[in-house]
Structure 1
Amino acid sequence: MQTTYDWITTPITADLLRGALDVEHTEHGVLPHRLPARARAQCTDPQLAGAESQPSGVRLAFRTRATAVELDTLPTKRVYVGAPPRPDGVYDLLVDGRAAGRASVTGGNTVTVDMAAGTTELRPGPVGALRFTGLPEGDKNVEIWLPHNETTELVALRTDAPVEPAPPSGRKVWLHHGSSISHGSDAASPTTTWPALAASLGDVDLINLGLSGSALLDPFTARTLRDTPADLISVKIGINLVNTDLMRLRAFTSAVHGFLDTVREGHATTPLLVVSPILCPMHEDTPGPSAIDFTSLGDGRPQFHAMGDPAERADGKLALGVIRDELNRIVAQRSAEDPNLHYLDGRDLYGESDSAELPLPDQLHPDAATHLRIGERFAELAFAEGGVFGVRGV
Structure 2
Amino acid sequence: MASTPPPWITTPLTEDFVRGALDLERTPHGLLPHRLPARARAQCSDAQLAMAESQPSGVRLVFRTRATAVELDTLPTKRVYVGAPPRPDGLYDLLVDGRPAGQAVAAGGNSVIIDMSTGTVEHRTGPVATLRFTGLSADAKTVEIWLPHNETTELVALRTDAPVEPAPPSGRRTWLHHGSSISHGSDAASPTTTWPALAAARGGVDLVNLGLGGSALLDPFTARAMRDTPADLISVKIGINLVNADVMRMRAFTPAVHGFLDTIRDGHPTAPLLVVSPLLCPLHEDTPGPTAYDFSRLAEGRLRFTATGDAAERAEGKLTLTAVRDELKRVVEQRAADDPNLHHLDGRDLYGEADYAELPLPDELHPDAATHRRIGERFAAHAFAAQGPFAGGRA
TM-score between the two structures when normalised by the length of structure 1: 0.98
Alignment partner, residue 335 of structure 1? 336
The answer for the alignment partner of 2:11 in structure 1 is 10
SS at match of 1:365: coil
CA spacing shift, 1:75–1:311, aligned 2, 3 Å: same
Q: 2:195, 2:4 → 1: CA distance?
A: 36
Confirm or deny that 1:104 pairs with 2:105.
yes
Over 3 Å counting, the alpha-carbon distance change for 1:74 and 1:298 in structure 2 is farther
Please tell me whether the aligned partners of residues 285 and 321 of structure 1 are also in contact (alpha carbons under 8 angstroms): yes
Q: Distance in 2 between matches of 1:353 and 1:237?
A: 22
SS where residue 138 of structure 2 aligns? coil
CA positional deviation for 1:2: 5.5
> What letter matches 1:341 in structure 2?
L
Aligned to 1:26: 27
Query: Given the superposition, is the C-alpha separation of residues 169 and 300 from structure 1 closer, same or farther in structure 2, using an over 3 Å criterion?
Result: farther
What is the one-letter code of the residue matched to 2:42? Answer: A
* Cα deviations by residue, 1:301-354 (Å, 9 ceiling, x for unpaired): 211111112221110000000000000000000000000000000000000100
**d(CA) in 2 for partners of 1:306, 1:295:** 14
| Residue in structure 1 matched with residue 283 of structure 2 by the alignment | 282
Give the SS at the match of 2:348: helix
Query: Using the alignment, how far apart are the partners of 1:2 and 1:95 within structure 2?
Result: 24
How far, CA to CA, are the matches of 1:391 and 1:61 in structure 2?
A: 25
Give the Cα–Cα distance (whole angstroms) in 2 for the partners of residues 83 and 147 of structure 1: 21
Matching residue of 2:66: 65
Quote the Cα distance in structure 1 between the aligned partners of 2:328 and 2:4. Answer: 57
1:314 corresponding residue in structure 2: 315
Distance in 1, matches of 2:299 and 2:129, equals: 29
Return 186-195 or 1-10, whichever deviates more. Answer: 1-10
Could you list the structure 1 runs, at least 4 aligned residues long, displaced by more than 4 angstroms after superposition.
none
Identity percentage of aligned residues: 77
Q: What are the Cα deviations for residues 143-166 of structure 1, in whole angstroms up to 9, with x where unaligned?
A: 000000000000000000010101
3-state SS, counterpart of residue 95 of structure 2 = strand
- 1:146 aligns with 147
Asked if 1 retains the 8 angstrom alpha-carbon contact of 2:85 and 2:303, the reply is no
CA distance in 1, matches of 2:186, 2:392: 27
Aligned to 1:232: 233
- Alpha-carbon contact 2:76-2:151 (below 8 Å) kept: yes
Contact 1:202–1:391 under 8 Å retained in 2? no
Mean Cα displacement is larger for which, 300-309 or 117-126?
Answer: 300-309
Unmatched runs of 5 consecutive residues or more in structure 2 = none
Structure 2: how far apart are the matches of 1:69 and 1:248?
A: 51
Aligned counterpart, 1:38: 39
Q: Which residue of 2 aligns with 1:253?
A: 254
Change (3 A) 1:391 1:294: farther
Equivalent residue runs for 1:115-126 within 5 Å = 115-126=116-127
Task: Report the CA distance shift for 1:300/1:331 in structure 2 as closer, same or farther (over 3 A).
Answer: same
CA distance in 2, matches of 1:391, 1:376: 18
SS in 1 for 2:378: helix
Q: d(CA) in 2 for partners of 1:391 and 1:348?
A: 22
**Map of 1:43-54 to 2, 5 A cutoff?**
43-54=44-55
Change in CA separation of 1:298 and 1:93 when aligned onto 2, cut-off 3 Å: farther
The one-letter code sitting in structure 1 at the alignment partner of 2:261 is: L
Aligned with 1:214: secondary structure? Answer: coil
1:128 aligns with 2:149: no
| Structure 1 counterpart SS, 2:121 | strand
- Distance in 2 between residues matched to 1:83 and 1:305, nearest whole Å: 16
Residue 340 of structure 2: SS of its match in structure 1?
Answer: coil
CA contact (8 A) 1:93 1:100 kept: yes
Q: How much does 1:116 deviate?
A: 1.1
Counterpart residue type for residue 111 of structure 1: V
The residue aligned with 1:221 is 222
Q: Aligned partner of 1:177: which letter?
A: H
- Give the aligned residue type for 1:76: T
Work out whether residues 84 and 299 of structure 1, in 8 Å CA contact, stay in contact via their aligned partners in 2: no
How do residues 160-239 of structure 1 correspond to structure 2 at under 5 angstroms? 160-239=161-240
> What is the CA deviation profile of residues 106-158 of structure 1, one whole-angstrom value per residue up to 9, with x for unaligned ones?
00001000111111110000000100001112110000000000000000000
Residue equivalent to 2:93: 92
Partner of 1:92, secondary structure, is strand
User: What TM-score results when the alignment is normalised by the length of structure 2?
Assistant: 0.98
Match of 2:356 in 1: 355
Give SS of 1:287's match: coil
SS of equivalent residue, structure 1 residue 134: coil
Q: Given the alignment of the two structures, is residue 380 of structure 1 paired with residue 381 of structure 2, yes or no?
A: yes
Q: Report how far residue 298 of structure 1 moved.
A: 4.6
Matched residues, number: 393
**3-state DSSP class of the match of 1:38?**
helix
